[in-house]
Structure 1
Amino acid sequence: MTNSTNWFESGGEQYAQYRPQYPESLGKVLASLTKERHKALDIGCGTGQLTTILANHFDKVTGIDPSESQIHNAKPHPNISYDVANAEELPTSLSDINLITVAQAAHWLDLPKFYQEIKKVSAPNALLALISYGILQSDAHIKARFDQFYHQEIGSYWPSERKMVEEGYQNIHFPFPEIPVQDAEIKLEWNFEAFMGYISTWSAVRKAQDAGKTALLLRFHQDILELWGDPKQLRIMTWPIKMRVGKIHESLRKDSEIDYIKGDRFF
């Protein structure tokens, strides 16, 4: 991989292989918030990073994602069923869900429609958890070069919704009484290939590639390789996990009072 000019080409297979895994402790925290653990629903499940963890704590878990590629590469588990579907139009087979999670995907949703949709499939005491992990905190050896790449070189290629992730979804519309939840952390030891594989899954990298910025991407690849040293050497990477958890059937406003600009998303 170190000599490849196509390291930034990404799909469902690369996403499954290189996206950081949530800690098992996150599943325990989420499960502890609800008395009933019969059914969980993971929205925008990708390849099942969080879905598989939930399956260790709930009797049945459904993971949905609009991408066929992601679902095709999702991790199998006897307690999990996957489906290609949109968050704003959930499968009619879903019902009595105790916990609904949206991990690293809430910024892509039409939130008013989504909030209405989850009320149809959730159990009376169900909870909604919006989960995000922020900017990678990299090893000190590569931090300065990584920060330059993230904020300056491809900063303009991040979609505007990316800011919501960086803010831990603290400023998006969330009309549910919230339950305090302690923040968590992802901590991994990665070699050079794993690090660059993760970078390759970024939407900003794909957009920069489409814009003809291949030289910029390859220069970053080479600079990091030189700073890294032995590509097999493991370096510590961390991501802060932020969560907003609320009671679905106790909206702070009546449904009719949810105001948003017609034709636009409310964040």
Structure 2
Amino acid sequence: MKPIDRFSGHAGLYAQYRIDYPDELYTFILGDMPDRQIAWDCATGNGQVANALADWFAQVEATDISETQLVMAVQRPNIHYQISRAEQTPFADHTFDLVTVGQAIHWFDVPAFHREVLRVAKPGAVLAEWGYGLVELSDELNPPMLDFYRNRIGPYWDPQRSHIDNRYADLAFPFADVRTATFMVNHNWTLERFLNYLRTWSAVRQYIFENEEDPVTAFGERIQSLWGDGEQTVCFPVFCRAGKLV
């Protein structure tokens, strides 16, 4: 199966406007993991997760199929970036103590990726997969946000988006000692900042490609009076699952 790349064309927006993940997420993933020599961050994008893992691990291998994304990735001495598919990597058998995938597993051939993880991770290593769902706004802003998400750009989402909506519940996870957790990422954003975040959505990019107009502009005009001139709190529900290889 050919890998799906929905982000190279707007890597600059992605690097600037996508969210970071909370410290609590990494604390949950690492848990009582005693061996923190080497981690693999798969589908690293601009390297935000690799950058966080570099504080905890002696070495981080970070891969993505997008050369454009990797060019913009955070550079640190103990992070090594390279282009690679998730399902077929150049890594040696039994290399990693931790494998992470943030907001990307739904784009993979999941069984093939899990087979690759079983090959390249050490016995007892941890695999953590997470994502975040539709942004939550105020009571006044949530209805137009949901309408935009479902109706205006709904037809332009790839089918894989459904896995985000149901929090990976229908994606197999055949590992031991499975743990799940949810976290909230909260930011205070101006309307301009929020609209630029929406422009990173793959469905918005597809809408622009097919219609030669930006649907976010009209949406911003629609909610301007509700948002006001200042900042609004935007909340991102992050869901995570982690398990061990036996």
| TM-score between both structures, scaled by the size of structure 1 | 0.83
Q: Distance in 1 between matches of 2:151 and 2:174?
A: 35
How many residues align? The count is 239
Note the C-alpha offset of 1:96: 1.9
**Mean alpha-carbon deviation: is it higher for 24-33 or for 13-22?**
24-33
CA displacement, residues 9-37 of structure 1 (integer Å, 9 cap, x when unaligned) = 96111101000111122122212242211
Q: Distance in 1 between matches of 2:74 and 2:214?
A: 34
Write the letter of the residue equivalent to 1:193: E
Q: Which protein is bigger by CA-based radius of gyration?
A: 1
Q: Distance in 2 between matches of 1:149 and 1:93?
A: 45
State the partner residue of 2:87: 88
Q: Quick check: which one's strand share is greater?
A: 2
State the partner residue of 1:147: 146
Question: Contact between 2:131 and 2:238, CA under 8 Å: does it hold in 1?
Answer: yes
State the partner residue of 1:105: 104
Question: Contact between 2:63 and 2:84, CA under 8 Å: does it hold in 1?
Answer: yes
State the partner residue of 1:158: 157
Identity level (%): 33
Q: 1:189 to 1:112 in 2, by over 3 A?
A: same
- Structure 1 position 202 matched with structure 2 position 235: no
State the partner residue of 1:262: none
Note the C-alpha offset of 1:95: 5.1
Write the letter of the residue equivalent to 1:125: G
Note the C-alpha offset of 1:93: 5.7
Write the letter of the residue equivalent to 2:234: M
State the partner residue of 1:261: none
Write the letter of the residue equivalent to 2:29: L
Note the C-alpha offset of 1:244: 1.6
State the partner residue of 2:49: 50
Which stretches in structure 1 are left out of the alignment for 5+ residues?
1-8, 251-267
Question: Contact between 1:128 and 1:246, CA under 8 Å: does it hold in 2?
Answer: yes
CA displacement, residues 30-57 of structure 1 (integer Å, 9 cap, x when unaligned) = 1224221111111111112222112222
Question: Contact between 1:10 and 1:201, CA under 8 Å: does it hold in 2?
Answer: no
Q: Distance in 2 between matches of 1:213 and 1:219?
A: 13
| TM-score between both structures, scaled by the size of structure 2 | 0.90
Write the letter of the residue equivalent to 1:227: L
Residue aligned with 2:100, SS: strand
